[in-house]
């Protein structure tokens, strides 16, 4: 079983719809929960992160974490064609190595999202 499971999609929705993206994880050692967005032929860029259960809003984006269920979600309201990209959940475990912290990211497979104008 993978440490992080994410529905790969693809997912196509009309402009203006609410999008829900989800991941589940198995390792309780994960401390930070992140969402990255990756456009075609680009590296991932951080959208949002949180470290506690509950909701965190940033504009049209809401990140939700339920640590008891090991379940994280990203909601996009009023979706725009420019939101079309691959969305990756990423979980971070800080490991101490030689007194330094290795902030090791474990990614989901990514969900390819297309917003149809």
Which is closer to another protein, CB of 78 or CB of 103?
103
Q: Which residues bind another protein (CB under 8 A)?
A: 4, 6, 8, 41-46, 49, 88, 90, 95, 97-98, 100-110
CA–CA distance, 115 with 81 (Å, rounded to integer) = 5
Alpha-carbon 54 to chain mean position: 14
- CB of 15 vs another protein, minimal distance in Å: 25
19-25, strands of its sheet edge to edge: 4-6, 19-25, 71-76, 61-66, 54-58
- CB of 87 vs another protein, minimal distance in Å: 10
- CB of 6 vs another protein, minimal distance in Å: 7
């Amino acid at each position: 079983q993978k440490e992080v499971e994410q529905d790969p999609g693809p997912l196509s929705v009309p402009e203006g719809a609410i999008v829900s993206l989800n991941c589940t994880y198995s390792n309780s050692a994960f401390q930070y929960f992140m969402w990255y967005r990756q456009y075609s032929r680009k590296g991932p860029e951080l959208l949002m992160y949180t470290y506690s259960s509950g909701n965190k809003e940033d504009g049209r984006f809401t990140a939700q974490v339920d640590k008891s269920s090991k379940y994280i979600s990203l909601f996009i309201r009023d979706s725009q064609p420019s939101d079309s990209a691959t969305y990756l959940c990423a979980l971070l475990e800080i490991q101490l190595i030689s007194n330094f912290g290795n902030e090791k990211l474990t990614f989901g497979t990514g969900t390819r999202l297309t917003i149809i104008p």
